[in-house]
Amino acid sequence: MSVTASDVAQVALLARLTIPDDRIDEVTDRFTRVLDLVAELQQVDTDGVLPMSNPHDMEQRLRADEVTEVNERDHLQQPAPAVEDGYFLVPKVID
């Protein structure tokens, strides 16, 4: 598949990209090579090939929602300069 510089300019406009004029030929060539590769992949015979599995199709094993750790909030807040009702107090930084 052949891509023209005007095609690239149109795609760039739609994507709100700026492509310098001195690089438009390089970008056009890259687009052409990518589309050629896609066309080549379309030629591959995939009859009899099973599609890849998707992990989202499987049922997830969930564990019970249980507390497994001891509440150490008081111990962990001891070195804090200011604590109130189990929350760390911090200085106001925005008026």
Instruction: Quick: pLDDT tens for 12-31.
Output: 999 999 999 999 999 999 99
pTM, entire model: 0.50
> What residues pair up with 87 in beta bridges, in sequence order?
84
pLDDT digits (tens, 9 = 90+) for 31-50: 999 999 999 999 999 999 88
Smallest CA-to-CA distance from 2 within 40, 23, 43, 33 is with 33
Helix segments in 1-95, DSSP class H: 5-14, 24-42, 73-77
